[in-house]
Amino acid sequence: MSDLRELYQEVILDHSKRPRNFGELPEANRQMDGRNPLCGDKTTIYLKVEDGVVREAGFVGSGCSISMASASMMTEAIKGHTVEEAEALFRRFHDLITGSPMNAGASEDRVLEQGRDLGKLAAFSGVCEYPARVKCAALAWHTLKAAIEGQTDAVTTEKPSSEGGRP
136 contacts Zn ion (rule: CB under 5 A)? yes
- For residues 123 and 73, the answer to whether their CB atoms sit within 8 Å is yes
Burial of 95 (0-12, 13-18, 19+ CB in 10 A): middle
Does residue 125 bind Zn ion (CB under 5 A)? no
Map the footprint of Zn ion across residues 46-65, applying CB under 5 A: 63-64
DSSP letter for each residue of 17-85: HS-TTBS--TT-SEEEEEEETTTTEEEEEEEEEETTEEEEEEEEEE--HHHHHHHHHHHHHHTTSBHHH
Determine if 106 is a binding residue for Zn ion (CB under 5 A).
Answer: no
Nearest-approach distance from CB 37 to Zn ion, in angstroms: 10
Q: Write down the least CB distance from residue 136 to Zn ion, Å.
A: 3
- 25 is a site residue for Zn ion (CB under 5 A): no
> Considering the rule CB under 5 A, would residue 41 count as an interface residue with Zn ion?
yes
Cβ at position 158, least distance to Zn ion in Å: 13
Other CB atoms within 10 A of residue 41 CB: 24
Verify binding: residue 72, Zn ion, rule CB under 5 A.
Answer: no
Q: Does 39 bind Zn ion (CB under 5 A)?
A: yes
What is the SS3 assignment for 166?
coil
Return the number of the residue (53 or 60) whose C-beta is nearest Zn ion: 60
Binding residues for Zn ion, rule: CB under 5 A, are 39, 41, 63-64, 67, 136
